[in-house]
Amino acid sequence: MFIVGLADDVSRLRAQTKFLFQLLGAVSLVSLGAVLQLTPSYVANVLITLFWFVALTNAFNLLDGLDGVAGGVGAIASFFLGLYFARQGAWPHAALAWSLTGATLGFLRYNFHPASIFMGDAGSLFIGSTLAGLVVSSPTSASASLASVVFVPLAIVAVPLVDTTLVTVTRILAGRPISQGGLDHSTYRLVELGLKESQVALLLYAFAVGGGLVALFLTGLDAGLGILIGTTFLVVMSLLAAYLGRMKVAHTNHPSRAKAVTLLVRNLIYKRRIGELILDVVLIALAYYGAYRLRFDNALPLPYVDAFQSTIGLVIALKIGAFSVFGVYRGAWRYAGIVDLYRIAAAVLVAGLILFAYGEWRVAPLAASHSIIYIDVLLATALVLTSRLSFRSLEMLRNWFLQNGDRVLIYGAGDLGELSLRRLVNRRELELHPVCFLDDDVHKHGAQIHGVPIVGGLESLAFAVDRYRIKKIAIGTTKLSPEAVAAIHSFAEGLGLKVMEIGFGVRWIPSALKTLPHKERSTPAGPRSA
């Protein structure tokens, strides 16, 4: 893979040629006996191994867009992979993984932003293929649990794999070629959010460290709990990728003519919301299994294992059906709010009542332990609602990280004040940063609106301006007396501060026919009388 990458750096190789050599490298590993033992079928295991090698090798190749990203993520992944091998007693694999960590860190000294040397395909293909080969050739893979074999490696290399998945899905939906380069990777999308290149690298390092810690945590769990925690981590990473997928980025090529398969996938995802449906199925299953695990500290008793297996399909069908009836799938994630909470809670509660009745009738373990159903209702509501609020939460986190512009005091902490805050935050081109509220209602003092404190009333104006280094004052209420408005203006003029009023008026638009000249007006055609 190093030689292939070096040849690609010197003289551009076609994407198909690179893929062929990657496939040959994977076949070489398989021929030497390095096969992931995931299923009873040897043929299926071979195909999974080939896919794993090619996918991870390409993932690091695609991740190498900004200075230091691929090198830093590779160093972190190899370090945690070495810890995993050491805990399994696979010391030769641990030694090779840690050797890769040291070599990559030495290179990263000169590759971090601003870089003086660059990795190229020779480095990225080498790192990806080495990590992939270490996983498939590990002597512990044949005897380890499914959670260790699947989720530990996935958690460790989640960052490059999620980036590759994001690029692949968004390009397929847009009808763009997957093999060509572009600016639609997660690194460039994070830059588009307003982060600097060094901040993007550090953020991805943090995600890589988080994945490594999750992987180490999974090694001490049983298979069921490991699958539960591992799936939850991958769901969180998928939601992060979905949020980044909403960003509009520049493309270096025009979309090709949409194929029938592309149109079908696009219709399924955007019109039928199949992605949202699949996510809910996963979350419902996680909540139901999590309810059993919270009910019992250790492994589940055999009757409850049978009860879970016999009712999991029913639970998924009940909740998905209730979500459809209560209109959960009508809302837009970006604007999820209290109405969505009511819909989700009502749907889960109705599904729980039906499951309660069915358990009393047909499932003895559920009839003997109602707490499982109670915990499931709480967990399902929390998980589904968290997924719906994820985009708004990430947007708030983004605004918190990108606090720039003139510091603004908003006078009025009512409904118009809250709308003023949202408007100033969403309109980044204004370069205004709300930092505090003032309001005449003493009962609001000390509270917060979207994390912005209400520090006092009109008497606290001088304190707030000095304490929060205010540059502008925004009036976000219509209830101020003329005397209070005059006092604010007088105070602001004395300190050289600007005062603005954020309006939310309603204006009726006259009919277009009334504004046209008489000759340009047209009458709709209708049936002529005899």
Q: How many CB atoms lie within 10 A of CB 88?
A: 19
pLDDT digits (tens, 9 = 90+) for 336-373: 778 888 999 999 999 999 999 999 998 999 999 999 99
pLDDT digits (tens, 9 = 90+) for 188-241: 777 777 778 888 888 899 989 999 998 888 887 777 888 888 888 888 888 888
How large is the average pLDDT for residues 450-458?
Answer: 87
Report which residue type is found at 108: L
How does residue 318 score in pLDDT terms, banded at 50, 70 and 90? very high
Q: Which residue has the higher pLDDT, 242 or 280?
A: 280
What's the confidence (pLDDT) of residue 258? 47
The HSE-up count of residue 62 (CA atoms within 13 Å, CB side) is 26
Higher pLDDT pick, 292 / 329: 292
**For residue 13, which amino acid is it?**
L
Q: Please provide the average confidence, as pLDDT, over all residues in the chain.
A: 82
Q: Give 472's strand partners.
A: 408, 498
Burial class (CB in 10 A: 0-12, 13-18, 19+), 497: middle
Alpha carbons 227 and 212: distance in angstroms, whole number: 16
Nearest to 7 by CA among 179, 119, 117, 122: 122
CB atoms within 10 A of CB 439: 25
Q: How confident is the model at residue 525 (pLDDT cuts 50, 70, 90)?
A: very low
Reference 334, options 431, 433, 234, 422; nearest CA is 422
What is the share, in percent, of the chain residues with pLDDT greater than 90? 30
List, in order of start, the domains of the chain with CATH numbers: 2-272 (no CATH), 281-398 (no CATH), 404-501 (3.40.50.720)
Dist CA 312 CA 134 (whole Å): 36
Q: Is the pLDDT of residue 157 over 70?
A: yes
Q: Determine the length of the chain.
A: 530
pTM metric for this prediction: 0.74
Question: 476: which residues sit within 8 A by CB, 6+ positions away?
Answer: 410, 411, 412, 413, 414, 416, 417, 419, 420, 421, 502
The per-residue pLDDT for 208 is: 92
Q: Which of 398, 115, 213, 57 is nearest to 205 (CA)?
A: 213
Q: Determine the Cα–Cα distance for residues 111 and 234; give it in Å rounded to an integer.
A: 29
Sheet holding 406-411, edge to edge: 432-438, 406-411, 472-475, 498-501
What HEC string does 355-385 produce? HHHHHHHHCHHHHHCCHHHHHHHHHHHHHHH
Q: Pick the more confident residue, 401 or 466.
A: 466
Residue 454 is given by DSSP the state: B
Structure token digits, residue 305: 């294992």
Model confidence at 16: pLDDT above 50: yes
Q: Using pLDDT thresholds of 50, 70 and 90, give the confidence band for residue 182.
A: low
Instruction: Please state, in angstroms and rounded to a whole number, the distance separating the CA atoms of residues 5 and 515.
Output: 66
For residues 501 and 479, the answer to whether their CB atoms sit within 8 Å is no
Neighbouring CB atoms inside 10 A of 403's CB total 11
Give pLDDT, residue 515: 54
Say how many CA atoms lie within 13 Å of 267 toward its Cβ.
7
Give me the phi and psi of 11, to 5 degrees please.
-135, 120
Directed axis angle between helix 274-295 and helix 223-245, to 10°? 150
Buried b (16+ CB within 10 A) or exposed e, 340-378: beebbbbbbebbbebbbebbeeebebbeebeebbebbbb
pLDDT tens, 228-270? 888 888 888 888 888 777 766 655 555 455 454 444 445 544 5
From the DSSP assignment, how many helices (H) and strands (E) are in the chain?
21, 6
User: Would you state the pLDDT for residue 402?
Assistant: 61
User: Residue 275 in contact with residue 269, Cβ under 8 Å?
Assistant: yes
